[in-house]
């Protein structure tokens, strides 16, 4: 299924080279919506991985390297019923705005992309993408941060401090901000997130206390064993994250379905698992996830 044409991409390149003001105009003209409406659930497609140097999906180390293919997959996903919005860094969000794909969608801006995958400074996760002032000015609807807490790495401290500032700024702007926390450690020269139940609960406790005003704070949490205990650790609205593609999509969908039924869970934020499914059928993968989030979507779509 192709959602974008060669002419669409030619126009996008032309806008970026000759008429960059049109990108801002596209934001100003786009039709916005309430973050939560209808059934009060959210299904967000995530595409902020490349800016961290994370291009791999499964065993394919460069799966997300082709920007045109990524945009085409995003266009397919955003066109499916039940997809409420998209999460990305400014380069991707600007592309989607120029292509006219953000009307009636919740736009989530990714903020800290400084901790590059595989870098010696990976835990120094500086805020080098969106900032709150720009998001508020552009009418972006939601902010997102990643908080990897490494008790053995001093670079965690400034990342926590920067995140607290982001939470304060978002609250002052009345901009919802989702925090994606992990307990992490260096292992064989790479950062590994601890996905045990107790570690996820600890990460939630740490992240929830950041900032001087938690009124606009959400959580973005992995689906792990005993999610009932995880969700008992917070009163904040929570979106589940999808992670990388699993070997068995049916098992992944079943785990999401169970977690989505828990109190406090408001929906899904998923990227690679749906944009690059094992069988290549983006629309089918997205439709399956959308029906898990929004129960009123018919199975025939």
Residue range 161-205, pLDDT digits in tens: 999 999 999 999 999 999 999 999 999 989 999 999 999 999 999
Q: Is 247 exposed, middle or buried (0-12, 13-18, 19+ CB in 10 A)?
A: exposed
pLDDT for res 247: 59
Residue reference for tokens 């140097």: 53
- pLDDT attached to residue 187: 93
pLDDT of 157 reads: 96
Alpha-carbon distance of 105 to 101, in angstroms, equals 8
- Phi first, then psi, for residue 124 (nearest 5°) are -85, 80
**Whole-angstrom distance, CA of residue 144 vs CA of residue 130:** 9
For the chain, report the end-to-end CA distance as a whole number of angstroms: 14
The conformational region for residue 56 under phi > 0 = left, psi -120 to 50 = alpha, else beta, is: beta
Quick one: which of 287, 269, 265, 292 has its CA closest to 110?
269
pLDDT tens, residue by residue, 143-156: 999 999 999 999 99
- Phi, psi (rounded to 5 degrees) for 32: -95, 170
**Residues 89, 114: Cα–Cα separation, whole Å:** 12
Give the orientation angle of helix 6-18 with respect to helix 90-98, to 10 degrees.
110
Alpha helices in the chain, H assignment, sequence order: 6-18, 21-29, 67-78, 90-98, 132-138, 156-172, 197-208, 227-231, 249-260, 272-275, 282-293
Which one, of 266, 207, 277, lies nearest residue 35 by Cα?
Answer: 266
| pTM, rounded to two decimals | 0.93
Give the model's pLDDT for residue 218: 98
* pLDDT value of position 297: 72
Domains and CATH numbers, the chain: 6-293 (3.20.20.70)
- Are 65 and 55 in contact by the 8 Å Cβ rule? The answer is yes
**pLDDT tens per residue, range 248-272:** 777 888 889 999 999 999 999 999 9
The list of the chain residues with pLDDT below 50 reads 1
- What is the predicted pLDDT for the residue at 35? 92
Q: What percentage of the chain reaches a pLDDT higher than 70?
A: 96
Residue 69, CA distances (Å) to 3, 5, 20, 21, 85 in order: 11, 11, 22, 25, 19
pLDDT at 1: 45
Q: Which two tokens stand for residue 227?
A: 């999610």
Q: For residues 123 and 148, is the Cβ–Cβ distance under 8 A?
A: yes
- State the Cα angle at 286 between 282 and 287, rounded to 5°: 115
Q: What is the pLDDT of residue 250?
A: 79
């Amino acid at each position: 299924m192709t959602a974008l044409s060669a002419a669409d991409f030619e126009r996008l390149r032309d806008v970026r080279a000759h008429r960059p003001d049109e990108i801002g105009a596209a934001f100003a003209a786009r039709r916005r919506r309430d973050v939560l409406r209808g059934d009060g659930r959210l299904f967000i497609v995530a595409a902020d991985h490349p800016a961290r140097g994370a291009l791999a999906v499964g065993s394919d180390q460069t799966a997300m390297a082709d920007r045109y293919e990524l945009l085409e997959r995003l266009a397919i996903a955003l066109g499916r019923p039940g997809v409420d919005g998209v999460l990305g860094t400014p380069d991707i969000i600007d592309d989607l705005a120029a292509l006219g794909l953000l009307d009636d969608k919740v736009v989530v801006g990714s903020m800290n992309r400084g901790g590059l995958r595989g870098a010696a400074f990976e835990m120094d996760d500086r805020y080098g993408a969106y900032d709150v002032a720009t998001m508020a000015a552009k009418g972006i609807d939601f902010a997102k941060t990643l908080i990897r807490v490494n008790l053995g790495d001093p670079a965690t401290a400034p990342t926590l401090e920067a995140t607290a500032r982001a939470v304060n700024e978002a609250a002052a702007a009345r901009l919802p901000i989702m925090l994606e926390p992990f307990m992490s450690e260096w292992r064989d020269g790479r950062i590994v997130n601890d996905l045990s139940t107790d570690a996820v609960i600890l990460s939630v406790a740490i992240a929830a206390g950041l900032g001087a005003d938690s009124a606009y704070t959400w959580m973005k949490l992995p689906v792990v064993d005993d999610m009932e205990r995880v969700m008992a650790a917070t009163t904040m609205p929570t979106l589940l994250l999808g992670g990388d593609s699993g070997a068995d999509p049916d098992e992944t969908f079943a785990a999401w379905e169970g977690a989505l039924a828990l109190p406090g869970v408001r929906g899904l934020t998923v990227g690679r698992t749906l944009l690059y499914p094992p069988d290549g059928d983006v629309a089918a993968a997205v439709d399956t996830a959308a029906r898990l989030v929004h129960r009123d979507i018919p199975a025939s779509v």
